[in-house]
Amino acid sequence: MTMFTRRVLLLIFAAMTAGLAATHSVAQTDPLPSWNDGNAKSAIVEFVKRVTTEGGPDFVPIEERIATFDNDGTLWTEQPNYVQAMFVFDRIAAMAKERPEMKETQPFKAVLEADRATLAALGEQGLVELVTATHSGMSTADFEKTVRDWIATAQHPRFHRPYTALVYQPMLELLAHLRANGFKTFIVSGGGVEFMRPWAEKAYGIPPEQVIGSSGKTAFELNGDKPVINKLPTVEFIDDGPGKPVGINRFVGRRPIFAAGNSDGDLQMLQWTTLDAGPRFALIVHHTDAEREYAYDRHSAVGKLDKALDEAPRRGWLVVDMKNDWRTIYPRR
Amino acid sequence: MTMFTRRVLLLIFAAMTAGLAATHSVAQTDPLPSWNDGNAKSAIVEFVKRVTTEGGPDFVPIEERIATFDNDGTLWTEQPNYVQAMFVFDRIAAMAKERPEMKETQPFKAVLEADRATLAALGEQGLVELVTATHSGMSTADFEKTVRDWIATAQHPRFHRPYTALVYQPMLELLAHLRANGFKTFIVSGGGVEFMRPWAEKAYGIPPEQVIGSSGKTAFELNGDKPVINKLPTVEFIDDGPGKPVGINRFVGRRPIFAAGNSDGDLQMLQWTTLDAGPRFALIVHHTDAEREYAYDRHSAVGKLDKALDEAPRRGWLVVDMKNDWRTIYPRR
């Protein structure tokens, strides 16, 4: 190496890293290959470019690049029912094998008999009973194992694939594109935080500490030399609607500059994200593809997309038309 | 560049990066220069080496390297009173200028007159009143500004330096050493999360989303086109004692493998961190240095270090003797 001066080495090094950067940039020419060319795709790419252009008027320092994503219907399929509801039904069936008296007790009877009329008429109290029965009375570790076992085997009734195979490929690319540009990506879901964490890292590349969701109370206990955290039958926090900005404030402590949702449960998160100075971006996934996924505009069994859709044009929120904007829906088998 | 083949370039590149690594490693020979050589320092260095040695029996994947730190008395000075208590007193003095009736109303009167006897006799109700009066009734944004302004100017009564200058240099080095080895570092404090976040990133390199603390309820509100989150006068979560593992579970969703505390308020966090299979580490900062900081063994105005100190030898927790283990206490001016 003595034939090279330090300066020559540094020049070579600079040239090589420039070469590496160039290669990298070529590979990134289309960061969103599952998005069809059009307004949606270019709006996203353009926004990311603006906030990451150093010296530009809209540059955002890396630590402030916070992006929050709803989960059900935004990152994975939520029809014909929330995946967590499917989990509840399956758990109740499993529990009834050991506790046959559940077969004669509402609201469990309705679940076990798939009695849609009774289920549809269940008030909040009945739903809380179903969730409580399946989500409390065990340690967090035991619950996590139950979720892992279930998600590994359960299948979607129409697509006959595991639910984690029914995540949206275009959204996976969007998450990856944001992260490649210094964003920290969070899930902010009405779903249970302890239901999502066991599989979110593998499915989305989002670690447990970046998953925000609804939760029940828990309590720490030391049994001899074995510490456990027990799940109690009390709702602690509903991370939905106005709860989403509250959850973001509590867990992240910074205001996002990018948010994605698909229902009125995301309305306040989109408002909180966009209604402030500086570059901000919000998108709504509009389910318009009955053939490849589901089409369910403003009202469906799992919720409404009504106020948020009305507000979108006024606020400049991007409405993603799943049928036309997405080349692919799910990852290849 | 044509005089170099690609292979030669790659060799040069490899040699250079090896050189960089070597330089880096030399610079890292002593990652904890403010720790005196001895058992405490070597136990820490040894643990970090063990869990980061790929292929070794105690290797821990990077995503599971979670480290949690108490704040008051563990990362910065908590005597003669919690910094947040000083903030409360100063806020009440400021508020009383605009609301003179506070001068005649307890518990504010006692604060304004520095009436120690009355203050010491305040029950939980009185303390909650003081915290509520100073920590609610404004937006999170306004509270953050108040904290920023205060922390920038307030001074410690004995050391006459800003409180953020009274962070422990050895702990800053420990945080940096852990992060350099792939750990994600969290604060898990009984203090208010919104009191810590405005300055924790600058003081410790810990971003807001990695600060866990006690909190009050908040509510989202849209005023015209201006969304705000308001701080309500209701306690939501006390992140102390058994609340610490509960908070860690809720916010991080993984069990730490490293934890540091200095009081019985950290006992359950240390238990939760260490009482499981695999390599685990806990340390207790023992305040033994009346000259350079404070000496206050098992009982003091700000809390107890009693059960945790008794449990330390049995659990293998490192007790750091501030006077003997730390070469420096505070960062240089």
- How many CB atoms are located within 10 Å of the residue B182 CB? 15
Minimal Cβ distance to A220: which of B1, B210, B272:
B272
B4 has a chain A CB within 8 A of its CB: yes
* Residue position matching structure tokens 């989500």: A135
Closest CA to B303 of B284, B316, B319: B284
Question: Which ranges of chain A does DSSP label H, i.e. alpha helix?
Answer: 6-27, 39-52, 83-98, 108-112, 116-121, 124-135, 140-153, 169-180, 193-204, 243-251, 267-274, 307-315, 322-325
Cβ within 8 Å, pair B197-A253 = yes
Q: Which residue of A has its CA nearest to B207?
A: A63
A201 has a chain B CB within 8 A of its CB: yes
Domain ranges of chain B: 32-81+164-325, 83-153
A193 has a chain B CB within 8 A of its CB: yes
Q: How far is A122 from chain B (nearest CA, A)?
A: 28
Q: Which residue of B has its CA nearest to A218?
A: B246
How many Å apart are CA B30 and CA A95, to the nearest integer? 56
CB B82 within 8 A of CB B212: no
Q: What is the pLDDT of residue A6?
A: 46
Instruction: Please calculate the CA angle B108-B146-B78 and round it to the nearest 5 degrees.
Output: 70
Cβ within 8 Å, pair A250-B225 = no
B61 has a chain A CB within 8 A of its CB: no
- How many CB atoms are located within 10 Å of the residue B18 CB? 10
> CATH homologous superfamily of domain B32-81+164-325?
HAD superfamily/HAD-like (3.40.50.1000)
5-34 of A, contacting B, C-beta below 8 A: 9, 12-13, 15-16
Cβ within 8 Å, pair B209-A251 = yes
Q: Which residues in chain A have Cβ-Cβ distances shorter than 8 Å to B12?
A: 1, 4, 9, 12-13
Q: What is the ipTM of this complex?
A: 0.90
Cβ within 8 Å, pair B254-A208 = yes
Closest CA to A75 of A185, A155, A1: A185
- Domain spanning A32-78+164-325: CATH 3.30.565.10: no
- How many CB atoms are located within 10 Å of the residue A299 CB? 10
Cβ within 8 Å, pair A13-B13 = yes
**What DSSP line would sit under A212-270, residue for residue?**
EEEEEEEEEEEETTEEEEEEEEEEEE--STTHHHHHHHHHT-S--SEEEESSGGGHHHH
Q: How far is B261 from chain A (nearest CA, A)?
A: 18
Minimal Cβ distance to A251: which of B12, B201, B251:
B251
Q: Which residues in chain A have Cβ-Cβ distances shorter than 8 Å to B9?
A: 12, 16
Cβ within 8 Å, pair A220-B253 = no
Cβ within 8 Å, pair A218-B250 = yes
Cβ within 8 Å, pair B242-A220 = yes
B49 has a chain A CB within 8 A of its CB: no
Q: Which residues in chain A have Cβ-Cβ distances shorter than 8 Å to B278?
A: none
Q: Which residues in chain B have Cβ-Cβ distances shorter than 8 Å to A1?
A: 12, 15
Q: What is the pLDDT of residue B269?
A: 98
- How many CB atoms are located within 10 Å of the residue B57 CB? 7
A247 has a chain B CB within 8 A of its CB: no
Cα A117 to its chain centre, rounded Å, is 30
* Residue position matching structure tokens 């949702």: A261
Q: Is the peptide bond before B242 cis (omega within 30 degrees of 0)?
A: no
Minimal Cβ distance to A12: which of B12, B249, B254:
B12
Cβ within 8 Å, pair B16-A4 = no
| Residue A83, helix vs strand vs coil | helix
Strand partners, A185: A67
End-to-end C-alpha distance for chain B, whole angstroms:
49
Q: What is the pLDDT of residue B28?
A: 54
CA dihedral A197, A199, A202, A207 (to 10 degrees): 0
For chain B, give the secondary structure using H, E and C.
CCCCCHHHHHHHHHHHHHHHHHHHHHHCCCCCCCECCCHHHHHHHHHHHHHHCCCCCCCCCHHHCEEEECCECCCECCCCCCHHHHHHHHHHHHHHHHCHHHHHCCCHHHHHCCCHHHHHHCCHHHHHHHHHHHHCCCEHHHHHHHHHHHHHHCECCCCCCEHHHCECHHHHHHHHHHHHCCCEEEEEEEEEHHHHHHHHHHHHCCCHHHEEEEEEEEEEEEECCEEEEEEEEEEEECCCCCHHHHHHHHHCCCCCCEEEECCHHHHHHHHHHHCCCCCCEEEEEECECCCCCCECCCEECCEECCHHHHHHHHHCCEEEEHHHHECCCCCCC
Instruction: Please calculate the CA angle A217-A221-A223 and round it to the nearest 5 degrees.
Output: 150
- How many CB atoms are located within 10 Å of the residue B139 CB? 17
Q: Rg of the Cα trace of chain A?
A: 23
What is the mean pLDDT for each group of 10 consecutive residues in chain B (333 residues)? Answer: 43 43 53 97 98 98 98 97 95 96 94 91 88 95 98 97 98 98 98 98 98 98 97 96 98 98 98 97 98 95 93 98 98 89
How many Å apart are CA A292 and CA A178, to the nearest integer? 26
A250 has a chain B CB within 8 A of its CB: yes
Q: Which residues in chain A have Cβ-Cβ distances shorter than 8 Å to B215?
A: 250
Minimal Cβ distance to B225: which of A13, A225, A275:
A275
Written as six digits, the tokens of A191 are 């779903």
B151: Cα within 13 Å, side-chain hemisphere: 21
What separation in angstroms does the CA of A320 have from each of A67, A202, A282, A285, A294? Answer: 17, 25, 10, 5, 14
Closest CA to A83 of A2, A191, A179: A191
Minimal Cβ distance to B227: which of A229, A251, A271:
A271
Cβ within 8 Å, pair A253-B218 = no
Q: Name the stretches of chain A with pLDDT < 50.
A: 1-26
Q: For an interface test with B, which of A201, A220, A266, A268 has the most B Cβ atoms less than 10 Å from its Cβ? A: A220
B268 has a chain A CB within 8 A of its CB: yes
